[in-house]
Amino acid sequence: MTPAPTIHGAELVAFLQDSSGSQTKSILIEAERPTVRAPSRSGKHPVSSARRMLPPPAAALFKRHAKKAGDTAPAAMAEIEQTLKRLGLDGLARRNDLCGSFVVEATAEQIRELAATPGVQAIRPNRRHRKIHAVAA
């Protein structure tokens, strides 16, 4: 069985293929977001000032993309949230509005169902990083 294109990471693909029904995996579910393009600068003269290389102010970018960003991201987050509620994972899920994602522990079957949700852009394994302390010599 080939995993859905929304599933990323060899570790997660192996989990989906080899897991039993009760094993869970911590995953990061990314909601669909509109693509953001860097503003183009046209001109006859090469840019020599660092200030002229900066993108326009955020307000100008927001006006340009307000309809796409305002409509797509919240709708996708709402779809994912409804699927999490239906699967009984809403109490365990952690929502991050800043990057448009959820973190949750889910079984292989639940991950497959989440991957089929229209608002999901990607599902990745949630990597837990540990701090490495230097030992004083």
Q: Which long-range contacts (CB under 8 A, 24 or more apart) does 82-85 make?
A: 83/113, 83/114, 83/117, 84/114
| Entry pTM | 0.65
Question: Span 77-87, mean pLDDT?
Answer: 92
Sheet with 24-31, strands from edge to edge, namely: 94-96, 101-107, 24-31, 120-125
Class of domain 10-34+55-125 (CATH, top level): alpha beta
- 47 compared with 67, residue with greater pLDDT: 47
Give 69's pLDDT tier (boundaries 50, 70, 90). Answer: very low
Which sequence spans correspond to the domains of the chain?
Answer: 10-34+55-125
Cβ atoms of 111 and 14 closer than 8 Å: no
